[in-house]
Amino acid sequence: MGGLWRRGRTRWMAVAAALGLVLAGGLTSSAASAAASPTVVGWLSTKGSSIVTAAGKPYTIKAVSWFGMETSNCAPHGLWTISLDTGLDDIAAMGFNTIRLPFSNECLAARTTNSIDANANPGLVSLTPLQLMDTVIARAKARGLSVILDRHRPGSDAQSELWYTARYSEQRWIDDWKMLATRYKNESAVIGVDLHNEPHGPACWNCGDQSRDWRAAATRAGNAVLSVNPRLLVVVEGVERQGDGTATWWGGGLRDVRSAPVRLSVANRVVYSPHEYPASIFAQTWFGARDYPANLPGIWDANWGYIAKEGIAPVLVGEFGTKLETDSDRKWLTTLVSYLGTSGMSFAYWSYNPNSGDTGGLLADDWRTRQQAKLDALRPILTPVAKPSPKPTATPKPTATPKPTATPKPTATPKPTPKPTTTPKPTATPKPTATPKPTATPKPTATPKPTATPHPTPARAPSAAWILQSSWGEGYVAEFEVTAASSTRGWTVSWESPGATAVPNAWGMTCALAGSTVTCSGLDWAAALSPGQTVRVGLQVSAPRAPAKPKLSVTAS
C-alpha cells in the first residue's frame, strides 16, 4: 500500500528506523521495547465468557472504529485536518483502550495514500498504506492503545456480502490475513483480527454450502491466521439471516453458535462479534413493540447475548452507533450501554469519524469538537481521562497558500439496509482558488471619455466523471470528479435516476430532485474552479437502483 516503493529504499529505512519498523516484517523487537508502554495490555486469550490477560485477569476491550483505510483514500479519514497523534491522543483520553482499524485488500496492495495533509502529518504522505498501518499501530501503542485489524471490504469501492468476490478470491483473503499475521507476529499491540465485516445476503451459518457457509470460511481463515501467530484473538461476526428464518442486522445473527460454534486449531481464541443499530438505521420490527425498549435485552440474549451468558465464548459488540437525534435512538443507546455494562461485554463503537453518514461519530465535522452527548451516554462503560495538550506534530505549519479553516466533509454515507460500510470521502483536501486581484482603477483624463462596457467571456462547461461507490436495494452513493475547462464561478451537473425519491445527503454540492432528474450545483469549496482544477464531490440517492452510466449534463456559470 502506498508509496512508490520508494525513491528509494534508503529514505524509507530512515523512517523505519525512527518508527522501529522493518520493511517486510512489521515492528522490530528493539522498536517494540522502545515504544512499549506499561498500559498496553498485550496478548489476550479467552476463558469461558471472558477475555483474559496473560495473567488470567478478565479484560474488557473498549474500542472505537477509526475508518478510512478501507476506502479509496487508503488512510484513516480526517488526516486532511488533524494529525494522527491528535486523533490517537483524543481516543485515549475519551477512555477507549483499543482501535478497530478497518482496511480493504485493495489498499493492502496499493502503493499510495491520498488526502493526508503534509503540514499536519509530516512524514506520512510518502508512506504506503501498509507503512501507514505500521505507523498507526506504533503510535497507538505508545499511547497504550491496542489494535484490532478489521477486514472491512475486499475492494475499496463497496462492501461485499460474502468474504470473497469475483475480483478478490477466498485465497487472496486468507493470504492477506497470513501476511498481516506475519508482519505483526511480534507486535503485542495487535491483539486481534476481525475476519470479515458484516456477512449478509446469502451468507449462512453452518448450512453446508461451502460457497456461502460463513462458519466454515471463518474456521479456514482463523486456522490460517493462528498457524502464523497463535496468540491472536479471532473475531467472528454473525450473519444477517439465521437458521430459524429470522433476520437481524448485517453481521448481527449468531443464534446458531450454540449448536455449531467455530472450533479452531488453537483453543481459547474465538470472540463472537455482532453488530447492533437503532431504529434510525432501519426500522426493525422490535422497535415498534409496545414494551420497547424493555424488549431489547431479550432480543439481544436470543441473537447473541446467550453466548457470553452461557459461558460459550466472549462477545464483542463490534459496531453500534447513532446520531442520537431521536427519542427512540436515545432509549436504544441507554439500554445497550446498560446491557454491556452489566454483562461486562467488550465493544467497538462506530465511529470516531464524524463522516459516517447515518450514525455520525464522536466528533463534529471539524474533527476537533467532541460530540459530548454521545460521550456522556457512553460514560458508564468508558473511563475518560484528562485530554492531553496537543503535541507539536498536531499544529499545521503555515504555507504560502492559505488553507480553508475547516475541510468540508460529506455529511453522510448511507448504511444500506440494514447497515452500510464506510462513508466515501473526498480524495483530497480542497484548496481555495486564488482570489482574483482587482485591476487598477482607470484614472480619468482631462476630458473623460466613456469606455466600452467589457463583456466577460462565458465560462466553458467543466467535465464530470461519474464514479459509483456503492449501491443496494434502496439507494446508492456516487461521486463525481469535476474538472474545470476554464475559470468558473459555479457549475451544475444533472442526470436521470429512474425511481429516485430523495437525495438525503451530499458533499461539495447542493442537490435537488425533480421527477427522476437529479440536479446538483457546486457548493462552498467545490463551487468556483480555476482552469484545470479538479474537485471530488458526491451524494447519496434513495432509489431502487443506481444508473449504470448516466448521461451527464454539465453547465458552468
Phi-psi region of 164 (alpha: psi -120 to 50; beta: other; left: phi over 0): beta
C-alpha cell at 65: 472504529
What is the C-alpha separation between 265 and 320, in angstroms, rounded?
30
Tell me which of 106, 240, 319, 479 is the catalytic residue. Answer: 319
The contacts of residue 541 (CB under 8 Å, 6+ apart) are 475, 476, 477, 478, 497, 500, 502, 503, 504, 518
Residue 510 CB neighbour total at 10 angstroms:
15
From residue 463, give the alpha-carbon distance in Å to each of 127, 456, 460, 503, 546: 31, 21, 9, 22, 21
C-alpha cell at 427: 480524495
From residue 431, give the alpha-carbon distance in Å to each of 437, 459, 521: 18, 21, 18
Structural contact between residues 66 and 87, judged by C-beta atoms closer than 8 angstroms: yes
- Annotation says 319 is catalytic: yes
From residue 237, give the alpha-carbon distance in Å to each of 194, 269, 310, 502: 8, 14, 18, 32
Tell me which of 198, 237, 240, 276 is the catalytic residue. Answer: 198
User: Residue 553, preceding bond cis, omega within 30 degrees?
Assistant: no
Q: Please provide residue 91's backbone torsions phi and psi, each rounded to the nearest 5 degrees.
A: -60, -45
Q: How far does CA 74 lie from the centroid of its chain?
A: 10
- Annotation says 310 is catalytic: no
Report the chain's terminal Cα–Cα distance, integer Å: 40
Q: Kindly tell me the burial class for residue 400, based on how many C-beta atoms sit within 10 Å of its own C-beta (0-12, 13-18, 19 or more).
A: exposed
Residue 342 CB neighbour total at 10 angstroms:
11
Nearest to 175 by CA among 158, 154, 156, 160: 154
Largest CA distance in the chain: 100
Residue numbers annotated as active site: 198, 319
